[in-house]
């Protein structure tokens, strides 16, 4: 018995050594000016590859910022349940041994989403991180549709003459001290510093970046579209929305941000914009007025509605619009693959 006890004790000790806990960083002042967004979370992940549906998350990190100060932080390695490819290890240096005793995504992600709450999230080329988190949340029966902003776009606006706006390039240009580049937690700290530097420059230029508010009607319309597609056994995990002028644009995915519906619910005239020809959809929309889009609106046809509730009666149209975007996406994939290139929107 003593021998067995000793073996178990040594196993416990070695296991503890394999999962070192790093101290959390809290209450770090980054700026006296909170910028256009008073409270938000900078996020970053490391993965086994670039495809959010087939590849796995191996690290999650975030820093919560309020009024220019880091007030809380989150970091965790994640056991992906599969070997980490050597190409990925070469980038983030996270090995199979490092994640051997780390929790699985179903244990970590709910805690990470709780940490984020309903706050806006930011990151450098954040669509990559957002796409992975959103899809994994979907697999766990959870939702992740927080508003977001991209520090990559801010860098391009603040420093238009730089040849590269990758995070590593910005860190070098702005002389930001980073201990371990391409590790999620170090990257979120660097991204937070880049954000505030960009804000300083943009403020000097008189630019006011901000997150557009989404109305309750627009959120309800987005949910209705997802419900309709789900009822037709369509995977809605990567569908996302954006706000452009007075329109709610519903996009095929974060990694392929091509809209397939635009919905206008404010003002006197309310309507849905599609890329389908008016004559081809009239039999899908009984008792609705269909007309050509005016030149001022990017689209081919629009269907006049009275309120968001009318969306429920347009299921055939919504499914056909999604299918069209799906076909377009697959055609793009085939084109790129035939050229020997893999589709990726990460810079």
> For the chain, what is the largest distance between any 2 Cα atoms, rounded to a whole number of angstroms?
83
Identify whether 124 is a catalytic site residue.
no
H helix or E strand, kind and range, residue 338: helix 315-338
Q: What angle do CA 176, 178, 180 make, to 5 degrees?
A: 160
- Selecting among 92, 124, 182, 247, the annotated active-site residue is 182
Q: Which residues pair with 318 in a beta bridge?
A: none
Rounded CA gap, 341 and 336, in Å?
5
By mean pLDDT, which of 1-5, 87-91, 165-169 is the weakest?
1-5
Q: CATH 3.90.1150 spans which residues of the chain?
A: 216-338
**Is the predicted pLDDT of residue 337 greater than 60, yes or no?**
no
Judge: domain 216-338, CATH 3.90.1150. Answer: yes
Q: What is the pTM of this model?
A: 0.64
Chain centre distance of CA 241: 11
Could you read off the pLDDT of 278-301 as tens digits, one per residue? 999 988 998 899 999 988 888 999
Could you read off the pLDDT of 319-328 as tens digits, one per residue? 999 999 988 8
Q: Which CATH number applies to 21-205? A: 3.30.420.10
The C-alpha torsion from 340 through 344 and 346 to 347, rounded to 10°, is 30
Nearest by Cα to 25 from 68, 67, 66, 64: 64
Could you read off the pLDDT of 195-237 as tens digits, one per residue? 999 888 888 877 665 555 677 888 889 999 999 999 999 988 7
Strands in 10-125 per DSSP E: 28-29, 39-47, 57-66, 69-77, 121-123
H helix or E strand, kind and range, residue 305: strand 301-305
Q: CATH 3.30.420.10 spans which residues of the chain?
A: 21-205
Rounded CA gap, 178 and 331, in Å?
41
């Amino acid at each position: 018995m003593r021998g067995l006890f000793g073996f178990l004790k040594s196993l416990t000790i070695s296991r503890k050594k394999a999962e070192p806990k790093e101290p959390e960083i809290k209450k770090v002042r980054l700026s006296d000016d909170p910028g256009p967004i008073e409270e938000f979370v900078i996020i970053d992940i490391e993965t086994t590859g670039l495809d959010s549906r087939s590849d796995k998350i191996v690290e999650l990190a975030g820093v919560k910022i309020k009024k220019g100060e880091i007030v809380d932080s989150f970091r965790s390695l994640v056991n992906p349940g599969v070997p980490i490819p050597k190409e990925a290890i070469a980038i983030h240096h996270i090995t199979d041994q490092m994640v051997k005793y780390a929790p699985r995504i179903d244990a970590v992600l709910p805690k990470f989403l709780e940490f984020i709450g309903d706050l806006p999230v930011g990151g450098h080329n954040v669509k990559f991180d957002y796409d992975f988190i959103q899809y994994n949340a979907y697999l766990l029966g959870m939702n992740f549709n927080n508003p977001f902003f991209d520090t990559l776009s801010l860098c391009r606006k603040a420093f238009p003459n730089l040849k590269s706006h990758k995070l590593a390039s910005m860190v070098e240009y702005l002389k930001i001290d980073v201990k371990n580049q391409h590790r999620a937690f170090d990257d979120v700290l660097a991204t937070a510093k880049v954000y505030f530097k960009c804000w300083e420059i943009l403020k000097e230029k008189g630019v006011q970046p901000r997150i557009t508010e989404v109305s309750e009607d627009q959120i309800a319309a987005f949910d209705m579209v997802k419900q309709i597609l789900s009822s037709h056994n369509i995977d809605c995990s990567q569908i996302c929305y954006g706000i452009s002028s007075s329109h709610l644009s519903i996009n095929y995915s974060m990694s392929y941000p091509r809209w397939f519906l635009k919905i206008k619910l404010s003002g006197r005239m309310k309507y849905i914009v599609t890329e389908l020809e008016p004559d081809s959809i009239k039999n899908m929309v009984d008792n609705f007025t269909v007309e050509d889009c005016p030149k001022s609106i990017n689209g081919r046809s629009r269907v006049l509605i009275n309120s968001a509730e009318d969306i429920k009666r347009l299921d055939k149209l919504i499914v056909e619009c999604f299918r069209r975007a799906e076909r377009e996406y697959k055609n793009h994939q085939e084109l790129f693959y035939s050229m020997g290139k893999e589709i990726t929107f990460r810079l």
